[in-house]
Amino acid sequence: MVRQGPPPPQAVRGHYDFVVVSNRLPVDRTTDDDGGHGWRRSPGGLVTALAPVMAGHDGAWVGWHGAPDETLEPFDNENMHLVPVPLSSDEVELYYEGFSNASLWPLYHDVIAPPEFHRTWWDAYHQVNMRFAEAVATAASEGATVWVQDYQLQLVPRYLRQLRPDLMIGFFNHIPFPPPEIFAQLPWRQSILEGLLGADLIGFQRPNDTSNFLRCSRRFLGATVKARHVNLESPGESQPRASRAEPFPISIDVGRIQELAVRPDVIARAKQIREDLGNPKTILLGVDRLDYTKGIPHRLKAYGELLHDGLIKVEDASLIQVASPSRERVESYRLLREEVDGMVGRINGQYDTMQNTAIRYLHHSYPVEEMVALYLAADVMLVTALRDGMNLVAKEYVAARVNNTGALVLSEFTGAADQLKAALLVNPHDIDGLKETITKAIGLRPAEASRRMRAMRRQVLDHDVQRWSRDFLSTLAGMAAERSHGRDAEQPSGL
């Protein structure tokens, strides 16, 4: 259970009527030529979706600014009021690298890697979550809307509800939510569920994630669940408080991707990429964080066997694998990098020629302009994650294919598979099936490729990240209106 202390003090009200809470602030620190420091907006769909909402309201964003052992005062950047939450080096190690990414991340991704459970990690997690909640409680105005983001902050809704019962609180889980059979392993499972149920509206990527959460609430808390509403009796409350759980699949900034896809310099860069690879008939592309959930070794194994079987020739096809660095201080990630490095080396050593490279392996992060150029250069996109909440790379590839060409090989274990049904869906654990699907993608007739891509583009263009945020926030606003109407109806006439 969440540890209970003395009743929380009355929080000082702020004047921000819309507050976003995430582990990181939506800015990165910059250094100019003279050594001066500044801030620039971080890339990413979440910032793109919520910046206009914040500009239209009196909005604030609460999060860590990225540097441990440093305390900053709140500041403004590009029409956003930013409230930094300080973290010590120990807290980064225990709360973030430990509990968030070595306990929760593998547990929520079907225990592809074994999760570790340590009480010191849990202690740091709930202490940091309380600090985030206190920062929000101080920034939010009376009756404000608060939107908490992702698995690092699952206790914030409950703590915030205790501090500020006047707030409307939403929570969105960007990663999968596990079934009860897996979630049962977590020693603090009840506390996590109670933390989430502090929110009025809890959003998930897929209907299955929503169902898993509802089943866990019923099984581990004894909550009453009906029509995606969870009623949980809490000490000190005369009536059970209801929370609502719904799927809200996240998407991308479609307009930005399409704008870049028709820009002459980006098109020229795509052509240059093909020329640098010797203009092969087929370029295949994988773009992932270097994470064990992404299925990169499965993809490389299948590709290596296709070369061995002679179904792909290095003179005709090349695989570009972008694997951006991720959590390199965590042991499982260090071991994964060694595995991938070794596989790429063996395949290239066996099949490279003086003119051709089997796999162009890029262990870097790239700006969005370069990513769109890669999407334009690639004939086949390989998204073979073993488990993924959504996978926005698949949607970015589709959005970039403005001429309705190309093929998407998509793991059925991604959230994107629910929306992109015209992709070539595959079980990445089935290496033979993966090989067959890659071969089919390479040989796909232009008419069929165009039909599939048009269907996927319709879905992505109609459901961009702005629609995602509108859908969530309008649902939360509707709940607030219903609650206000219910309170008004309870007042005696004449008051």
Closest CA to 409 of 292, 259, 302: 302
- Work out the burial of residue 66: count CB atoms within 10 Å of its CB; fewer than 13 is exposed, 13-18 middle, 19 or more buried: middle
Give how far the C-alpha of residue 442 lies from the chain's centroid of Cα atoms, to the nearest Å.
Answer: 29
Q: Report the length, in residues, of the chain.
A: 495
Nearest-angstrom CA–CA distance, 109 and 102: 11
Pairing state between β 80-84 and 75-77: antiparallel
Cβ 146 vs Cβ 123: under 8 Å? no
Angle between helical axes of 465-490 and 45-56 (0-180°, round to 10):
50
Q: Choose, from 150, 288, 388, 464, the residue flagged as catalytic.
A: 388
List the structure tokens of 252.
Answer: 């991308």
Nearest-angstrom CA–CA distance, 43 and 52: 15
- Which helix (H) or strand (E) segment holds residue 285: the answer is strand 282-289
Closest CA to 132 of 105, 163, 89: 163
Give how far the C-alpha of residue 445 lies from the chain's centroid of Cα atoms, to the nearest Å.
Answer: 33
Residue 19 bridge partners (DSSP)? 60, 146
Cβ 122 vs Cβ 130: under 8 Å? no
Q: Among this protein's residues, is 174 annotated catalytic?
A: yes
Residues ≥6 apart with Cβ < 8 Å to 480: 145, 168, 200
List the structure tokens of 447.
Answer: 């008419």
List the structure tokens of 142.
Answer: 């009376």
Phi first, then psi, for residue 267 (nearest 5°) are: -65, -40
Cβ 396 vs Cβ 252: under 8 Å? yes
DSSP states of 89-121 as a string?
Answer: HHHIIIIIIIIIIIIIHHHHTTTSS-----HHH
Q: Among this protein's residues, is 363 annotated catalytic?
A: no
Cβ 314 vs Cβ 281: under 8 Å? no
Q: Tokens 């569920």 label which residue?
A: 193
- Work out the burial of residue 157: count CB atoms within 10 Å of its CB; fewer than 13 is exposed, 13-18 middle, 19 or more buried: buried
Q: How many CA atoms, within 13 angstroms, populate the side-chain half-sphere of residue 329?
A: 7
Q: Choose, from 174, 341, 418, 471, the residue flagged as catalytic.
A: 174
Nearest-angstrom CA–CA distance, 2 and 431: 43
Cβ 446 vs Cβ 403: under 8 Å? no
Residues forming the active site: 174, 388
